[in-house]
Structure 1
Amino acid sequence: MAFTKKIRNSKTQYSWPSIVMHWLVALTVLAMYPLGLYIVSLGYYDPGYRIYPNIHRSIGLLLAVLVALRLTWKFFNPSPRMLAQKPIERFAAHAGHIALYILLFVVFSSGYLISTADGRGIAVFDWFTVPAIQALANRQEDFWGTIHFYAATTMMVLTAIHILAALKHHFINKDATLKRMAGVVDKNTNS
């Protein structure tokens, strides 16, 4: 086994930019969900009431930029061929990835609309401010909050299925699906 050092994806291996972006998005999404649940549990007088929502919004906007970069990278740098043997697995993998990206878009959009519903922009770690779109600032925080919660929860369920599928490939199918996303090239595996 060796680690790949490629900048572009090959037919059998993900490149380091693809791998790094995948894991950054994955770990950030996994961390943002419990943070969001904690935020909605806070009372108005809780010391974190003003701190944690700003962190959540800032990370969310930076994550949206990272996902946009990842999709751009994916468009110009196609993924390696899938290792799934059965047509239903190929279909499920494609459908699952598309659903995850759609849910990410819904979560980002609804999060933005919650945060700008009062017409104020979003300060990203006090580095810069993303302005509100005044035509969309219609005080619909509760509506967009519901959309945000259910889309994020659905995304967590699909993420769990995605993780289980990767583990199935690794431990049951014994193929290189998970190794490829870890940057490991296994010369003994047909990948």
Structure 2
Amino acid sequence: MLAHSRSLGHSSVMKLRNDKARYGWVAIGLHWLVALAVFALFGLGLYMVELSYYDPWYQSAPDLHRGVGLTLLAVVLIRLAWRALSPPPAPLAGHHRWERIGARLAHWGLLGLLLVAMVSGYLISTADGSGIDVFGLFEVPSLTGRQNGLEDSAGLVHYWSTWALVVLAGLHGLAALKHHFIDRDATLKRMLRP
């Protein structure tokens, strides 16, 4: 009984950092926060482009989209810094070489598409020279000033990068489910708890 209670006490210690075998709570939390924000922003983006001028959400939906998008950019930068401080665990033994290469390409592809989507979204919103108000707390200024045609070209990049991001994230999720239900390995479990 005493050994059981000690093991429970030891397992309840909050593991923040990654180790060689598992992710810590910080990496897990940042992963799921980014995933939730990406799909929420994508859904909000699809919703807001269909709004009419007289819809009550016509002004507030884009403001919310921009505010969450810039907050997500900060979270992604924090996640990159955390990754440098606490490197991810090694791939699980037993994965094929093509799976390890595919996972690495998918992770860097997701990160690249995230950054392209957020920077292009920023450029859409600041192409007229105005800054972006973030939830009334502060304003992110325009770095480009007024640029004719920038809104349209950045809009095209934003549209395709967000679609590619969501498709790749969906494939990433399906791969995790394949590892969990077919391969029966700990790939998904490592991203659920340390």
Do structure 1's residue 176 and structure 2's residue 186 form an aligned pair? Answer: yes
1:130-184 residue CA offsets vs partner (Å, 9 max, x unmatched): 0011357444212111110100000011001000000001001111111110005
Match of residue 113 from structure 1 = 123
Could you tell me how far apart the structure 1 residues matched to 2:123 and 2:83 are?
Answer: 27
Match of residue 27 from structure 1 = 36
Whether contact under 8 Å (2:20, 2:89) holds in the other structure is: yes
Residue 3 of structure 1, CA deviation: 6.6
Match of residue 58 from structure 1 = 67
Q: Which has the larger Rg?
A: 2
Q: Give the secondary structure class of the aligned counterpart of 1:50.
A: helix
TM-score (norm 1): 0.91
Residue 45 of structure 1, CA deviation: 2.2
Match of residue 17 from structure 2 = 8
- Equivalent in 143, 158, 161 of residue 168 of structure 2: 158
Could you tell me how far apart the structure 1 residues matched to 2:29 and 2:13 are?
Answer: 12
Residue 4 of structure 1, CA deviation: 7.0
1:71-94 residue CA offsets vs partner (Å, 9 max, x unmatched): 110012110111251000000000
Q: Give the secondary structure class of the aligned counterpart of 2:133.
A: strand
Q: Give the secondary structure class of the aligned counterpart of 1:12.
A: coil
- Two-structure CA RMSD over aligned residues (Å): 1.6
**Equivalent residue pairs, number:** 184
Match of residue 103 from structure 2 = 93
Do structure 1's residue 129 and structure 2's residue 157 form an aligned pair? Answer: no
Structure 1 unaligned blocks of 5 or more: 185-191
Identity %: 48
Structure 2 unaligned blocks of 5 or more: 1-7
1:8-29 residue CA offsets vs partner (Å, 9 max, x unmatched): 1111110110110000001110
Structure 1 letter corresponding to 2:129: G
Could you tell me how far apart the structure 2 residues matched to 1:95 and 1:136 are?
Answer: 36
TM-score (norm 2): 0.90
Match of residue 187 from structure 1 = none
